[in-house]
Amino acid sequence: MTNRSVETNAWRGQPGVLVLESADQPDGIVFEGTLFGSAPKEGFAWGEAVFNTSLTGYQEILSDPSYHRQLVCMTASHIGNTGANRTDNESELPQAAGLILRHAPGTPSNWRSESSLDEYLEKGFVPGIHSVDTRALTRLLRNCGTVRSLILPTSERSKAKELFRKIPGIGEKDLILEVTTHQTYVVPAQGPKRYQVVALDFGIKRNLIQELTRIGCEVRVFPAQTSASELLSSHPDGVFLSNGPGDPDRATYAVETVKQLVGKLPIFGVCMGHQVLGLALGAKTYKLKFGHRGGNQPVCDLRSGLLEISSHNHGYAVDESSLPSHVEVTHRNLNDACVEGLRLKNTGGDAPAFSVQYHPEAAPGPHDSKGLFVEFVQSMEQWRQTKKVT
Confidence (pLDDT) at 349 = 75
CA-to-CA distance for 151 and 21, rounded, in angstroms?
Answer: 12
Confidence (pLDDT) at 1 = 32
CA-to-CA distance for 236 and 219, rounded, in angstroms?
Answer: 9
Residues known to be catalytic = 271, 359, 361
CA distances from 183 to 180, 226, 227, 232, 255 (A): 9, 10, 14, 17, 20
Regions in the chain scoring below 50 on pLDDT: 1-6
Query: Rounded to two decimals, what is the model's pTM?
Result: 0.95
CA-to-CA distance for 262 and 143, rounded, in angstroms?
Answer: 39
Confidence (pLDDT) at 5 = 42
Looking at 3.40.50.150, 2.160.10.10, 3.50.30.20, 3.40.50.2020, the CATH number of the domain 11-166 comes to 3.50.30.20
Confidence (pLDDT) at 350 = 87
Q: Under CATH, domain 176-389 is a member of which superfamily?
A: Class I glutamine amidotransferase (GATase) domain (3.40.50.880)
Give start-end residues of each CATH 3.50.30.20 domain in the chain. 11-166
Confidence (pLDDT) at 10 = 81
Give start-end residues of each CATH 3.40.50.880 domain in the chain. 176-389
CA 308, distance to chain mean position in Å, is 19
